[in-house]
Structure 1
Amino acid sequence: MKRIIETDDAPAAVGAYSQATTDDSLLFTAGQIPMTADGDLLDDDPIDRQTEQALYNLDAILDEAGASAEDILKVTVFLDDIDDFETMNEAYANYFDDEPPARSAVEVAALPKGVGVEIEAVASIE
């Protein structure tokens, strides 16, 4: 049975989607952009700072679901410029400990609100 995950510690959904959904086995997050829970958009910040904020938002959602970064199985990173990959990757690597999840990173034509990165995750929860 699907359950909606929602927290005030991450940006609110601004469309017809949820911050995350779960069947109490797997958690699927919506893509997180570098926006604070208060609505401050970090679109002009360097890509490492944007990455950190997107991951902070994932953390808040995971926490609300009773999970943590250690429970993430797969991450997808969307970049508006693949040349930012190395800088994003350095910030990303600081987020995960010894056993990072599987990951895809792709360049896309554009991201919501003109940001440089969007990150979504699938996590195991029980």
Structure 2
Amino acid sequence: MANLIINSTHAPAPIGPYSQAIMADNVLYVSGQIALESTTGNLISDDIEAETHQVMKNLLAILQEAGLEFKDVVKCSIFVKDLNNFARINAVYGSYFPHMPPARETVEVSRLPKDVNVEISCIAVKSA
């Protein structure tokens, strides 16, 4: 089976030479999402909780475009500019995974695209 590019109009368009997601067999690899609103192009970055919610909404839009939900996510990677925000990011993130949260790592980095505070990517599996 060939790889399939997944793009959702309900998530921001890529800001570089990459796809929002790629479906390879039954596995969806979602590129890192930041808190850009798809309808306005506005960046949410002055409140870490609102920023994290927007990131999660962008991930959900891409998952749904592929016929998936958060329950199908098996792995996330979270990149943060300041680990002092971890508890606040984690509280928002955790609200999207009330049952069986996926495997994950959280890494502090010196800089993220558009100088955002958080970026999250994920891998999801479509049941056969």
Tell me, yes or no, whether TM beats 0.5.
Answer: yes
Q: Given the alignment of the two structures, is residue 43 of structure 1 paired with residue 63 of structure 2, yes or no? A: no
Deviating beyond 2 angstroms after TM superposition, the runs of 4 or more aligned structure 1 residues are: none
Q: Given the alignment of the two structures, is residue 34 of structure 1 paired with residue 32 of structure 2, yes or no? A: no
* Equivalent residue, structure 2, for 1:16: 17
CA distance in 2: counterparts of 1:62 and 1:30, whole angstroms: 11
CA distance in 2: counterparts of 1:26 and 1:47, whole angstroms: 30
Q: Which amino acid aligns with 1:63?
A: Q
Q: What do you get for the CA RMSD once the two structures are aligned?
A: 0.8
Q: Structure 1 stretch 90-99 or stretch 51-60: which is displaced more? A: 90-99
* Equivalent residue, structure 2, for 1:119: 120
* Equivalent residue, structure 2, for 1:54: 55
CA distance in 2: counterparts of 1:24 and 1:40, whole angstroms: 34
Aligned length: 125
SS of equivalent to 2:33:
coil
SS of equivalent to 1:60:
helix
User: Shift of the alpha carbon at 1:73?
Assistant: 0.3
User: Shift of the alpha carbon at 1:43?
Assistant: 1.9
Please, which runs of 5 or more residues in structure 1 have no aligned partner?
none
SS of equivalent to 1:34:
coil
Q: Which amino acid aligns with 1:23?
A: A
Q: TM-score of the superposition, structure 1-length normalised?
A: 0.96
CA distance in 1: counterparts of 2:89 and 2:24, whole angstroms: 30
